[in-house]
């Protein structure tokens, strides 16, 4: 007995079997991402860090049009590890950690 289009029917059958499992995995991953986004949005500590980054950036850019920024692009965060003090040892990231640590010890 010959079954017409047996190969395509088997592929469709295999897809149907795997589809629900894939949907569950995608939903689980989306829930994880959604939870992470909510944690970031509601994090008071992250807000303090971002405010300090903006303050440091505005201080470094004082006297230029960029010195009065009300925000910054996320890709600017990469500059925190690339921008160094004149001694070449301390980066902006080190300085930011120092500032945050001092603020934490005051509270």
Q: How many CA atoms lie within 13 A of 15 on its CB side?
A: 6
Residue 3 has pLDDT above 80, yes or no: no
Helices (H) and strands (E) in the chain, counts: 4, 0
**pLDDT digits 0-9 by tens, 69-102:** 999 999 999 999 998 888 878 999 999 999 889 8
Please report which confidence band the pLDDT of residue 65 belongs to, taking 50, 70 and 90 as the band edges: confident
Note the pLDDT of residue 5: 87
**pLDDT digits 0-9 by tens, 29-50:** 999 999 999 999 999 999 999 9
CA distances from 39 to 27, 94, 100 (A): 18, 25, 20
Q: Whole-structure pTM over 0.85, yes or no? A: no
The span from the CA of 52 to the CA of 59, in Å, is: 10
The span from the CA of 40 to the CA of 8, in Å, is: 46
Q: Which residues, in sequence order, are bridge partners of residue 42?
A: none
Note the pLDDT of residue 34: 98
Note the pLDDT of residue 38: 98
The span from the CA of 55 to the CA of 69, in Å, is: 9
Q: What are phi and psi of 52, to 5 degrees?
A: -65, -40
Q: What is the mean pLDDT of residues 51-66?
A: 92
């Amino acid at each position: 007995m010959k079954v017409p289009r047996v190969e395509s029917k088997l592929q469709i059958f295999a897809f149907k079997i795997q589809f629900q499992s894939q949907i569950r995995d995608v939903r689980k991953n989306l829930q994880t991402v959604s939870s992470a986004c909510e944690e970031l949005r509601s994090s008071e500590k992250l807000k303090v860090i971002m405010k300090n980054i903006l303050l440091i950036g505005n201080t470094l850019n004082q006297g230029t049009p960029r010195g009065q920024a009300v925000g910054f692009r996320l890709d600017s965060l990469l500059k925190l590890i690339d921008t160094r003090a004149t001694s070449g040892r301390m980066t902006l990231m080190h300085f930011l950690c120092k500032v945050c640590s001092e603020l934490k010890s005051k509270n």
